[in-house]
Amino acid sequence: MERHQRRAIRIAFHYMREAADAEEAVQDALVKAYTHMGTFLEDLPFEVWFTRILINGCLDRLKARRRRERWIARPTVGADGVERDPAEHLPSKGPSPEDQVLQNERRRRLRAAMTELPERQRLVFVLSHFEGRTSREVSSMTGLNESTVRVHLFRAIRRLRTLLSGQSVAETKGKGRVRHAAR
């Protein structure tokens, strides 16, 4: 092996282009040749058999290197010369800044609209939608009849929809009366 090692490192360096990788490839080839010595055919020179093991090992390492390079992002250098982690450039899993602004605006508008509700409707709405209580639970908490809770909830939702859509409550009440009169 000592006789073939220098030549083997030259061959491996030709493929790997880095001394450390070439030496590693030669060491792996030596171990592989030793463990598979039983498959060595006496009619071929040892040098040919070992070189074939070495070249196949180098080609496998090059394929693996290309696969890694394809999937691993290289660090980028910023304008200030500092290396940046590529993960900094990945989109976050949370909502975008635009979505956060819209969500905050919706919350603000809902809070403002809720101040327009009568006290009982607001109480029933908060307990039902924000606390997740059923009509029966809201009924036992407030002392109101269960059907009364459902009516207050229905009216609160209808009024909030109207307030959030931008129509005035008087316009909506007027439309409702016209519909009833037309029937």
CB hemisphere CA count around 77 (13 angstroms): 2
Query: Where does the chain hold its CATH 1.10.10.10 domain(s)?
Result: 97-182
Q: What are the start and end residues of each CATH 1.10.1740 domain in the chain?
A: 2-73
Assigned architecture for domain 2-73: Orthogonal Bundle (1.10)
pLDDT greater than 50 at residue 181: no
Q: 39-79: per-residue pLDDT in tens?
A: 888 777 888 888 999 999 999 999 998 888 878 766 666 66
Q: Concatenated DSSP letters for 18-41?
A: SHHHHHHHHHHHHHHHHHTGGG--
Residue 26 has pLDDT above 90, yes or no: yes
83-100 pLDDT, tens digit each:
666 556 556 677 888 888
Report whether pLDDT(2) > 80: no
Cβ-defined contacts of 53-58 (< 8 Å, 24+): 53/29, 54/8, 54/11, 54/12, 54/25, 54/26, 54/29, 55/11, 55/15, 57/25, 57/28, 57/29, 57/32, 58/11, 58/12, 58/15, 58/16, 58/25
Separation between Cα atoms, residue 141 and residue 127, nearest integer Å: 9
Question: Rounded to an integer, what distance in angstroms lies between the CA atom of residue 16 and that of residue 25?
Answer: 9
Nearest to 138 by CA among 36, 148, 181: 148
Measured distance CA(69)–CA(34) in Å, rounded: 31
Tell me the pLDDT of the chain averaged across its residues: 83
Q: What is residue 92's DSSP assignment?
A: P
The pTM of the whole model exceeds 0.75 = no
**Residue matched to tokens 């009216």:** 155
Does domain 97-182 sit in CATH 3.40.50.300? no
